[in-house]
Amino acid sequence: MSSRPLRFKEQINGREYRIEVAPVPTGRWRAQVVTAYGGPTALMPFYGTTPELAASSLTAWLTRVNRTSGTHS
């Protein structure tokens, strides 16, 4: 298992997100949104058995939240 975090950029509803996925001691991966400087945000992390699963869970949640947030004024 790689100990270095993987970083992705995702465009979701016109907004760019930086996602960092890192292994955790339990044999899972943690995905979280990070700032442009690599620091974590206050958003909760998502976990998965692979880096791709953790990142896709976070991306799916961000997509749902951003899609509905535009309908509430």
> Is there a domain that residue 42 lies in?
yes
pLDDT band at 73 (very low <50, low <70, confident <90, very high): very low
Q: Write down the pLDDT at residue 32.
A: 94
> Is there a domain that residue 53 lies in?
yes
48: β partners? 29
The β-bridge relationship of strands 28-34 and 46-48 is: antiparallel
> Is there a domain that residue 1 lies in?
no
Give the global pTM. Answer: 0.76
> Is there a domain that residue 50 lies in?
yes
- pLDDT digit string, tens, across residues 25-44: 888 999 999 988 888 887 88
Domains held by the chain: number: 1
**34-55: string of b/e by CB count within 10 Å (b at 16+)?**
beeeeeeeeeebbbbeebebbb
Coil, strand or helix at 49: coil
